[in-house]
Amino acid sequence: MINGISTDELGPQKVIYIHKPEPALEAIVVIDNIAAGPAIGGVRMSGDVTLEECARLARAMTLKNAAAGLPHGGGKSVIKADPSMPRVEKAKLIRAFAQALLDVQDYVPGPDMGTNEEAMAWVYDETGRAVGLPRELGGIPLDEIGATGHGIVSAIEAAENYSSIGIKGARIAVQGFGAVGKHAASFLAAKGAKVVAVSDSSASVLNPAGLNVAELLIFKKAGEKLIGFAGKDVETAPPEAVITSSCDILIPAARPDAITEKNVGQIKANLIVEGANIPATIEAERALHERGTLVIPDFIANAGGVICASVEYHGGTESQALSNIDEKIRCNVTQVLRMAQVENLLPRQAAVGLARERVLKASTFRRFG
């Protein structure tokens, strides 16, 4: 335990506090582990960030990057400030933050809540090190190309041997119609799945015969909320209805804790692919496992974004990013589900075990372990 955060054989390896009275910068960087390579992890800007949150997120990145087989460790940083401040002020703060990291070669910042590709361009301008950059600086716009949605499709295809659910004709429900959910829905529809339910924060829309995903995309692009969506045979219900709707595959792609002990008993899906981070409690995942519902855990299924960021960092192209996402996610889903089956583990336990093993193995190649 150091300063109230727990430590173990993986890390954290470095905790950096940054304080500059002018321009009122308060930030923390946690470099959890760099055994496999420089740590990649987002810069979160929010008024209520803490060291504990930063350390937890940094560990999540260590496991996610290792599980994805990337030559990167995990880190995270937080800047305590309101992200909606005027752009000029924000640029000053982010540039000051980047300047403080000039010599911290083993951390590569990326975008997260409260920061975006423009913020990463400022970091890059100061230090020459950042991912999630604008296209003009060699960035690959991962949300625009649907990097995470691509990975979700690959995960479903790889799980076919374990779930017996093929994409063609499968009934899909997607919670959240944002960067992850809308792309997952449209790629799956293009492969012959029937998208029967989707939701945003205003409502769920359902049609057992299949929703018109192209119409939904146009509707949302116009800035509308699903509560106002009307189509032939479309039923509107509260936002949470999507989770317990009648479907074969459920993709929670909105918020943490969408699946809990309260609603797990009413879930109809046989396969759950976690697009969001921690969309189910561990108790709910266990209950699903016990009754034979297959869950592909978040940091395996939603790694498309970080794989894309890694390809960008190493100078790769958009098409290399897409083929890397497909290859790595297929391979990881297969390994995790095989290990879970053979060792009778929850897929999450198998995934964490696999990731830890990779980090520990990588550390045997380093002088200071």
> At a CB cut-off of 8 Å and minimum separation 6, what does 182 contact?
146, 149, 216, 217, 220
Contact between 75 and ligand NAD by CB under 6 A: the answer reads no
- Residue 306 is classified by DSSP as H
Q: Which of 23, 178, 210, 353 binds ligand NAD (CB under 6 A)?
A: 178
- Structure-block tokens of residue 161: 């041997």
55 φ/ψ angles, rounded to the nearest 5 degrees = -65, -40
Task: Report the nearest approach of ligand NAD to the CB of residue 12 (Å).
Answer: 21
In this chain, which residue has its C-beta nearest to ligand NAD?
Answer: 178
Contact between 170 and ligand NAD by CB under 6 A: the answer reads no
Contact between 56 and ligand NAD by CB under 6 A: the answer reads no
Q: Taking CB under 6 A as the rule, which mask of x and - marks residues 128-167 in contact with ligand NAD?
A: --------------xx---xx-------------------
CB 185 within 8 Å of CB 161: no
Contact between 275 and ligand NAD by CB under 6 A: the answer reads yes
For residues 211 and 235, give the distance between their C-alpha atoms in angstroms, rounded to a whole number: 10
CA-to-CA dists, residue 345 to 286, 290, 340, angstroms:
10, 11, 5
Q: Which of 68, 140, 180, 197 binds ligand NAD (CB under 6 A)?
A: 180
CA 12, distance to chain mean position in Å, is: 21
Contact range with ligand NAD by CB under 6 A, out of 65-73, 262-270, 274-282, 309-317: 274-282
For residues 62 and 68, give the distance between their C-alpha atoms in angstroms, rounded to a whole number: 10
Burial letters for 101-118: b for 16+ Cβ neighbours within 10 Å, e otherwise?
beebeebbbbbbebbebe
Instruction: Kindly tell me which of 25 and 185 has the beta carbon lying closer to ligand NAD.
Output: 185
Task: Report the nearest approach of ligand NAD to the CB of residue 354 (Å).
Answer: 19
The length of the chain in residues reads 369
Contact range with ligand NAD by CB under 6 A, out of 35-43, 155-163, 249-257, 329-337: 249-257
Active site residue 76: yes
Q: Which of 124, 162, 177, 187 binds ligand NAD (CB under 6 A)?
A: 177
Contact range with ligand NAD by CB under 6 A, out of 96-104, 125-133, 269-277, 310-318: 269-277
Instruction: Kindly tell me which of 61 and 100 has the beta carbon lying closer to ligand NAD.
Output: 61
Instruction: Kindly tell me which of 181 and 347 has the beta carbon lying closer to ligand NAD.
Output: 181
Q: List residues bridging with 271 in a β-sheet.
A: 249, 294
Tell me whether residue 227 is exposed, middle or buried, using C-beta atoms within 10 angstroms of its C-beta: 0 to 12, 13 to 18, 19 or more: middle
- Structure-block tokens of residue 309: 């960021």
Q: Which residue has the tokens 């339910």?
A: 197
Task: Report the nearest approach of ligand NAD to the CB of residue 255 (Å).
Answer: 5
DSSP letters along 68-113, please? TT-S--EEEEEEES-TTS-HHHHHHHHHHHHHHTTT-TTEEEEE-T
Report angle CA 1, 44, 352 to the nearest 5 degrees: 55
From 14, 20, 64, 76, the catalytic residue: 76
Contact between 359 and ligand NAD by CB under 6 A: the answer reads no
- Residue 271 is classified by DSSP as E
In this structure, the number of other CB atoms found within 10 A of the CB of residue 186 comes to 18
Task: Report the nearest approach of ligand NAD to the CB of residue 143 (Å).
Answer: 5
Instruction: Kindly tell me which of 92 and 330 has the beta carbon lying closer to ligand NAD.
Output: 330
Instruction: Kindly tell me which of 126 and 274 has the beta carbon lying closer to ligand NAD.
Output: 274
CB 275 within 8 Å of CB 253: yes
Instruction: Kindly tell me which of 74 and 275 has the beta carbon lying closer to ligand NAD.
Output: 275
Tell me whether residue 153 is exposed, middle or buried, using C-beta atoms within 10 angstroms of its C-beta: 0 to 12, 13 to 18, 19 or more: buried
Q: Taking CB under 6 A as the rule, which mask of x and - marks residues 193-222 in contact with ligand NAD?
A: ------xxx---------------------
Q: Which of 12, 42, 74, 239 binds ligand NAD (CB under 6 A)?
A: 239
Q: Which residues bind ligand NAD (CB under 6 A)?
A: 142-143, 147-148, 175-181, 199-201, 239, 253-255, 275-277, 302, 305
Q: Which residues are catalytic?
A: 76
